[in-house]
Structure 1
Amino acid sequence: MKSPFTSCLPVAESFPKNLAGVARLYRVSLVALALVLSAHAGRAAGLPPSDRVVAALLRQLPKEVGGEDSASTKKVADFYARAGFAPVWTRTEGVTPEAQAGVTLLVSAARYGLKPAEYQATELVALFDSLSISDDQAPARRVRAEHQLSAALLRFTQHLHEGRITSSDLRPTASTIAAAFDGVAHLQYALHSGRFAEALLEAQPASRSYVRLLRAWQRLLDTDSAAAKRVAQPVAINLERLRWEPGADSLYLAVNIPSYTLQVVRGAKVAASHRVIVGKAITPTPELYSRVTFMQAAPEWRVPQSIAANEMLPKLRRDPGFLDDRGFELYNAAGKRVNPYRVDWNAVTPEAFPYQIRQAPSEDNALGEVVFRFANPYSVYMHDTPAKKAFQANARALSHGCIRVEKPVALARFLLERDGKNAASRVNDLQNSIDSGRTKAIGLQAPVTLLVRYLTCEADGDQLRQLPDIYGRDKALAHAWNDVMPTTLTPLMPMLAQR
């Protein structure tokens, strides 16, 4: 299958001048990759003499150092251990095509919303350009080049896959990523794929939103550098957000809070799109990753305690009939119905609100005709609403955090019709429950992935579209983005510092 990033590879004209004319990459069958890797242990013994010297020096590289470089050092050591300590990027006869392609990718890191300086791209160009294999210092210089390029590409690969920012406060969905990414294995895979740059870029997310945003960004870079400079940071931080997301299934729901939309995505296409209403700035909708497991037709609304205590209590103090007028019922902690006129509301405080307020299914019910349920720690859900006019507003940050969907019955039908056996029967159950006003839970045999994301820059066809930062989250992320300073790839042995 063709990689979605083939069109995102740097074009020949973008190669650094002294790296142009890249030789044909070695073609190694993916089927034979395991055999190639298994042979690495004895590989150094069969190398030319000068390469054996480099291999011996690579074997002496420390496996651990203290400080911020520790993780990078371990990865580089692991990378060469898996390669049998044979030189990877340099040979007696010169620099390998994979090295030239790797340096080119690092020089072109801005095309992927990353910073070339973070991978010491300029220094690497100079270092590889200065290599002279016949020089007395060639082995030390080659080891330095090997180490520095390996460390840079491992960092670049990791950043492509899961982003640069590590703060959990800024990465709300990152902890849901199940499998740890093995950057060393991926770099080995790219090295032996016969298509190094393209294979390395497969570390990126393959989601529709990421691929479209990346392509629009690269198109702008190639056609209007001045405009690209103005939007470089918004693009970078939104590509970063998309890298935090777990991989989605072939069918999933994607809510983008700043665009007030819900998209039903099937593969690379949007099967349906719905307007949504999201939380106000003081009660924001959280970013999350979950699965819609069931829906309720004609739902009862159990008013959250925060709304009951902070918003309804002042109204009850003025008029206990407020509940009856709007179809609400009052219950005590034991689940027994209470007459609101017999409560001394002035003695009830928001901090100790001992009642539960419920609203039975009706045309005025705040949840409308359908509610979609999914596990999350925020007690939010997606639902219908009787206030349909609100969907005509351009700015729709109006809720207490839950997501209101403009056409929820159509969404429910769509999900049920694609959910295994007895779909028609369950669609009928849904409609009958709505018509009768009897609450009914309808489960999904195959729960559907839900991504609630916060993207303030996205692709609109071939163009980039910036969206309002309604919760002010870009500022903190941009600050963190700019505070992530490049790690100096310091040589680990005195000999490596020699030029």
Structure 2
Amino acid sequence: MKVQNRALTTQKKDDTKTILIIGIVILFLQLAFHLTVSARPIEESSIQRKDSLNYQLGIQLNNPQMLKRLNFPNTVKRFYEKSNFETNWLTSEENSGPTVMAMLLLDCVKQYGLQLRDYHPEILTYEKLHNLFSVNSQISTAQKIEFELMLSDAMVSMINNLHYGAFNPTLNRFSIDNGIKGGLYADVFLHTAIKSPNLRETILTVQPNIDQYKQLQAYMKLIMGQYACDSYETPEQEIRTIAINMERLRWIGIENSSYLFVNIPSFKLTYYTNDKTLEYKIVVGKASTPTPTLVSTIGYLETAPDWKIPSKIFINEMLPKAQKDLAYFENNHMAVYDQKEHFVPINVQTLAQIKQNPKIYHARQTAGCDNALGKVVFRFANPHDIYLHDTPEQQYFSQSKRAFSHGCIRVSNAEQLAQILMENDGQGNRIADLKKSMANYNKQRFALKKPLPIIITYLTITVEDGLLAKHADIYLKDKSLENKMFK
């Protein structure tokens, strides 16, 4: 009997335990069902809101009026194509890091010599940013997408302006917007940058890797950031001058660590290598015959070069002298040729023929100590027919202002520079031959295995030994660029 009662008691306990487990399971299922049902409207609302934003995004990207407001509409459209036409900046407050970082970057545009007006400041405000993520926001979907597109365009604009410059004379905004073959594509870059841990630092990597640019940029950041906060006063004109010269450096577009850097206003050539820099005095073009700015590569050196006199010099200067003195060309070791390179003897009759149609004739000066190109010339392709070369007129290098040439660049210690270029090109075994050719005025070509970039630019302010150095605006170029940048 006791055994039976014990069995019944055990059975009752098991039944109670089973009922309790079943009850807990039912309660859990009811709770899960309740949570699922209550969460569904929120989830559906979130999806609907996202779909609404993306739908509005598609509409605005095809709205001609909206596209007209963008600086780089084609680039912005390509950027959204890469993200399947979904919003990038309007995710959630928890994931707003890139959005906030982009806004902070726009706050600092003046530190990079840029102007805030070019980046939609009337739309991209912190008040609107706060309202975008506010639970009680009254901002319409269209206004949210306006903010989204303007922020994308601002980032694209900053990438392009930091890399190519905002007023590049050879690359207009339209061509950049359509994509420069072999160049930086802002849509591709931004698509990657927005996923990086630090959007700001990633975007700043598009800036030029040129020594003077980095120094000017660091100086501008200092005076616009630290000095301004510490109530130091920097003249507005100095800030503008730094900004326009930073802009000029953005037009260059080379990434090499070794290059020749010619700055016209400072009358100086700097040879940058991986481990050191060398400086040389130069003579540049007069204001009436200015040295052009350009980027090219030195392909070879030529000793004892012939000088093909530029057409303007031949017509405007040499022909009048020859008419006064028939022996002028011969006395200066020059010869005149026609279009077929036939030698033309100079007399009264031929001078009259040349004067009738001077453009079909040209003159050459043979190698020698009186040759205007001196013992060696550094050849680089350019449409202006200018050279970097030695000169027999060494007396000009003793003067502080050295704008005397017809546009070519005369360099001091040209023989030394030629030898160093050959040494750094891995051709030290040819230096003895080079020196002999220069000493004896023997015409010979020395090709570089690695063509060396040459930059000819126009900087009226530079950083020298950590301090700003100002240079005379000898060609009066600053004012026009300043007017464009600062309106």
TM-score bin (small chain): 0.7 to 0.9
**Partner of residue 209 from structure 2, selected from 206, 210, 225:** 206
Larger displacement relative to structure 2 (326-335 or 297-306): 326-335
Do the aligned partners of 2:93 and 2:133 also contact (CA within 8 Å) in 1?
A: no
Describe the shift of the 1:126–1:461 C-alpha distance in structure 2 as closer, same or farther (beyond 3 A): farther
1:156 is aligned, of 155, 158, 169, to 158
Query: Paired residue for 1:395?
Result: 401
Query: How far is 1:339 from its partner?
Result: 4.9
- Seen in structure 2, the aligned counterparts of structure 1 residues 86 and 340 have a Cα distance that, compared at 3 Å, is closer
Task: Sort the Cα spacing of 1:301 and 1:266 in 2 relative to 1 into closer, same or farther, 3 A.
Answer: same
Question: Any conservation in 2 of the 1:190–1:200 contact (CA below 8 Å)?
Answer: yes
In the alignment, structure 1 residue 255 sits paired with structure 2 residue 259: no
Corresponding residue for 1:125? 126
Q: Give the drift of 1:467.
A: 1.7
* 1:111 aligned onto 2:111: yes
Q: Deviations over 1:399-440 (max 9, x none)?
A: 0111111111111111111223xx133212211212222211
Structure-2 residue corresponding to 1:82: 82
Aligned length: 434
2:24 aligned residue: none
1:2-151, aligned counterparts within 5 Å? 50-65=49-64, 68-69=68-69, 72-93=72-93, 96-121=96-121, 123=123, 124-135=125-136, 137-138=138-139, 140=141, 141-151=143-153
- Which residue pairs with 1:25 in the alignment? none
Please, which runs of 5 or more residues in structure 1 have no aligned partner? 1-43, 484-499
Q: Please point out which of 431, 441, 444 is paired with 1:440.
A: 444
> In 1, Cα distance between the equivalents of 2:386 and 2:486?
33
Q: Which has the higher contact order (CA 8 A, sep 6+)?
A: 1
Percent of aligned positions that are identical: 29
Residue 246, structure 1, aligned to residue 253, structure 2: yes
**Match for residue 480 of structure 2?**
476
SS in 2 for 1:259: coil
CA distance, structure 1, for counterparts of residue 147 and residue 362 of structure 2: 68
176, 185, 191: which one aligns with 1:182: 185
The amino acid that maps onto 1:131 is L
Cα 1:92/1:309, change in 2 over 3 Å: closer
Structure 1 match to 2:461: 457
Distance, in Å, in 2 between the alignment partners of 1:61 and 1:106 is 23
Matches within 5 A, 1:160-309: 160-165=162-167, 167-168=169-170, 179-221=182-224, 222-223=226-227, 226-267=233-274, 270-309=276-315
Give the superposition deviation at 1:352. Answer: 2.4
Partner SS state of residue 64, structure 2: coil
The runs of 5 or more residues in structure 2 that have no matched partner are: 1-42
Offset at residue 385 of structure 1 (A): 0.4
Shift of 1:80: 3.2
* Cα distance in 2, alignment partners of residues 289 and 277 from structure 1: 18
| Greater C-alpha Rg | 2
Which range moves more in the overlay, 375-384 or 115-124? 115-124
Query: 1:146/1:341 Cα in 2 relative to 1: closer, same or farther (>3 Å)?
Result: closer
The one-letter code sitting in structure 2 at the alignment partner of 1:76 is V
The CA deviation string for residues 431-464 of structure 1, in whole angstroms up to 9 with x for no partner, is: 1212222211111121111111112222223322
Equivalent in the alignment of 2:5 = none
2:244 corresponds to which letter in structure 1?
A: I
Looking at structure 2, the residues matched to 246 and 378 of structure 1 have their Cα atoms a distance apart, in angstroms, of 20
Which residue identity lines up with residue 105 of structure 1 in the other structure?
L
Q: 1:425 to 1:76 in 2, by over 3 A?
A: closer
Moved more, 154-163 or 216-225: 216-225
Distance 1:121 1:384, change over 3 A: same
Closer/same/farther in 2, CA of residues 170 and 227 from structure 1, 3 Å limit: farther
Residues 459, 350 of structure 1: CA spacing in aligned structure 2 closer, same or farther, 3 A cutoff? farther
Quote the offset at 1:389 in angstroms: 1.1
Report the CA distance between 1:384 and its aligned residue: 0.5
Match of 2:374 among 368, 373, 388: 368
Contact 1:419 1:445 (8 Å CA) reproduced? yes
User: Shift of the alpha carbon at 1:166?
Assistant: 5.2
- Whole-Å separation in 2 of the counterparts to 1:169 and 1:469: 24
1:14 counterpart residue number: none
Q: Which moved more, 1:387-396 or 1:245-254?
A: 245-254
Contact 2:373–2:389 at 8 Å: present in 1 too?
yes
Q: Is the 8 A contact 2:367 2:441 kept in 1?
A: yes
More helix, by proportion: 2
Change (3 A) 1:385 1:169: farther
Conserved 8 A contact 2:208-2:255: no
Root-mean-square deviation (CA, aligned residues, Å) is 3.0
Instruction: State the shift of 1:349 in Å.
Output: 2.2
Distance 1:169 1:205 in 2: 16
Match of 2:15?
none
Matched with 1:417 is 423
* Residue pair 1:327, 1:360 contacting (<8 A) in 2 also: yes
